[in-house]
Amino acid sequence: MKKLNYSKSINNLKGPKGIPFIGNLLQINKEKLHQNLEQWAKKYGDFYKINFPGLKIVVVSNPYYVNEILNNRPNKFRRLSKMKKVLEEMGFYGTLSSEGEEWKKHRKVTQQALSHKNVENYFPLILKIGNRLEEFWANKFNGNKYLDNYEISQDFMNATIDITTNLAFGCDLNTVYKQKEITQQHISKVVPKLNERIVSPFPLWRYIKTASDRDFDKSMKTIKDIISLFIENNIDNLKRFPERKKQPTNFLEALLVSQDKENPFSWEEIYGNIFTMLLTGEDTTANSLAWFSYYMATNKSIQYKIRNEIHEVLGEEFDIKEIGDTKKFKYLTATIKEVLRLKPVAPILYLQSNEDVILKDTLFPKNTFFITLLRYGGIDEKYFSKPNQIIPERWMQKESKCPFEGKHKEDVILTFGAGPRYCPGKYLAEIEMIVFIIKLIKNYEIELSVPEFEISEKFDFTMTPENLKVKLTMIKSNNY
């Protein structure tokens, strides 16, 4: 057996002092968990320890060690086992919840569904939903010059749901117009509940159901019924159009086709994967777009530059037409990178060691619970100059020279994770963001309707801009 070389054990790690029995529980604000942990990282460094009742947690802030952990999956590390349990009892059997060989099987089909080639094939659909959003905003104005106190995040949720349902089971739910039917009422309950249960010290909901648990179960049943209907529909379509077995037209068809092959997916896995796609495809991209809107509203000069770029690239026709167009928006793309650096919607990940492991000079026993900080490196001045400022220029290459002179360590950015479980939806998310932002910025001037200090980061598994309300003012076509 290989001898492990280390000079410290987990007991040598420092960390904030807690209270007997309760540990650090009262020092943490659940909705600001990521910020609390980032703050402590400044004092305690690359690795530190926190305690909750019955639970010791190691926090990893150094982006290179976070990378090492993420890259050593699925063998040395895995997602927190409790997370798998909570996800699967909600019905999410799939890429996000699974581990080891099981995960490889799910990952393969998910990654294929979200490949660059497939996303490029989906482009007309993304554009269609982008046009729908544009039309929806135009109708909202109803002859007025501006819309004030507007909660734009919900529109992004609806538009991303429309894209994801199309991609997942080939059906356009038109949530942008019909709004509350599936998103607000049902899917939007999943993420907070997931977070609540993962961080809960005791699984009370398995023994006693509160009103909120019962309401959640009802929503889950509705979603399950909707998905079951689509499964039946897709089975029918595969019978009617057998040629689709060779070239499935959506994710569900691809999962169903795999039924004919060795090691098929169970019904629970098919349902769970569709559900996973809905969950991961909506909240993440929609909240990134909401954060983008926040930065536009608070940085007028960047907003103007993006609008100018849209005019320059699109010219007279003033509309995006094909996937190739998305590559032409250099400044917009740089701004998206900057927003994703400052506001990664998944600022932390919960992981666990599968065996005894050494990181730096410390031995961590099997089953250590790690919280990895995904944002910390990106906002650390060791790696980025003026780390808390939005400076799109830092991502722009001008004849091999960056127009922003300053520290820039791209490899510490972990917004989409790292290693084999890196987010498979990154390309789709980037293309969606470009299309929706163009639709927004080319038509409207965006400002905040509330004082900036009232908008804050709220963590409930994803990080959302709480209290974001904007004022949209219509721009006449030549008046920018």
Q: Is 67 in the site for ligand HEM (CB under 6 A)?
A: no
CB of 436 to ligand HEM, least distance (A): 12
User: What x-and-dash track marks residues 256-295 binding ligand HEM by CB under 6 A?
Assistant: --------------------xx--xx--xx--x-------
Write out the two tokens for 66: 């976070």
- For ligand HEM, the binding residues in 156-195 under the rule CB under 6 A are 164
Q: Which residue reads 């290179």 in tokens?
A: 64
Q: Which is nearer to ligand HEM, 110 or 234 (CB)?
A: 110
Nearer to ligand HEM, 192 or 403 (CB): 192
- Joined together, the tokens standing for residue 60 give 């990893």
Least distance between ligand HEM and beta carbon 191 (Å) = 13
Pairing of β 362-364 and β 8-9: parallel
If DSSP codes are grouped into helix, strand and coil, which group holds residue 85? helix
DSSP 351: E
Q: Which residues contact 155 (CB under 8 A, 6 or more apart)?
A: 133, 136, 137, 176
Alpha-carbon distance of 225 to 115, in angstroms, equals 28
**Taking the complex as a whole, how short is the minimal distance between the CB of residue 478 and ligand HEM, in angstroms?**
33
- Residue placing its CB nearer to ligand HEM in the complex, 23 or 425: 425
x-marked contacts with ligand HEM along 295-334 as a string, rule CB under 6 A? ----------------------------------------
126, 129, 345, 472: which one binds ligand HEM (CB under 6 A): 345
Site string for ligand HEM, 108-127 (x = CB under 6 A): --x---x-------------
Tokens representing 210 are 């509160």
| Residues listed for the chain | 480
**Binder among 346, 373, 437, 446 for ligand HEM (CB under 6 A):** 346
Q: DSSP for 213-260?
A: HHHHHHHHHHHHHHHHHHHHHHHHHHHH-GGGGTS-SSHHHHHHHGGG
For ligand HEM, the closer CB: 173 or 346: 346
Contact present, 299 and 99 (Cβ < 8 Å): no
Q: Which range in 210-218, 303-311, 363-371, 420-428 contacts ligand HEM by CB under 6 A? A: 420-428
Output 306 or 339, the one with its CB closest to ligand HEM: 339
The answer to whether the beta carbons of residues 392 and 338 sit under 8 Å apart is yes
Residue 284, CB half-sphere, CA atoms under 13 Å: how many?
Answer: 23
Per CB under 6 A, the list member of 416, 436, 444, 459 interacting with ligand HEM is 416
CA distances for 120 relative to 71, 167, 186, 314, angstroms: 28, 12, 30, 19
Burial environment of residue 451 by CB neighbours within 10 A (0 to 12, 13 to 18, 19 or more)? exposed
> First and final CA of the chain: distance in angstroms?
69
425 binds ligand HEM (CB under 6 A): yes
Cite the annotated binding site for heme by residue number.
Answer: 423
Interface with ligand HEM, residue 417, by CB under 6 A: yes
Min. distance of Cβ 161 from ligand HEM in angstroms? 11
Interface residue with ligand HEM among 107, 197, 244, 343 (CB under 6 A) is 107
**Which tokens sit at 278?**
């809905």
Our separate counts of H helices and E strands in the chain read 16, 13
* Min separation Cβ 417 and ligand HEM, Å: 2
Question: Interface with ligand HEM by CB under 6 A: which range of 53-61, 135-143, 381-389, 419-427?
Answer: 419-427
Beta carbons of 369 and 57 less than 8 angstroms apart: yes
- Total binding residues toward ligand HEM, as defined by CB under 6 A: 30
Token duo for residue 74: 């699925």
The contact set with ligand HEM (CB under 6 A) reads 70, 95-96, 107, 110, 114, 164, 276-277, 280-281, 284-285, 288, 344-346, 349, 415-419, 421-425, 428-429
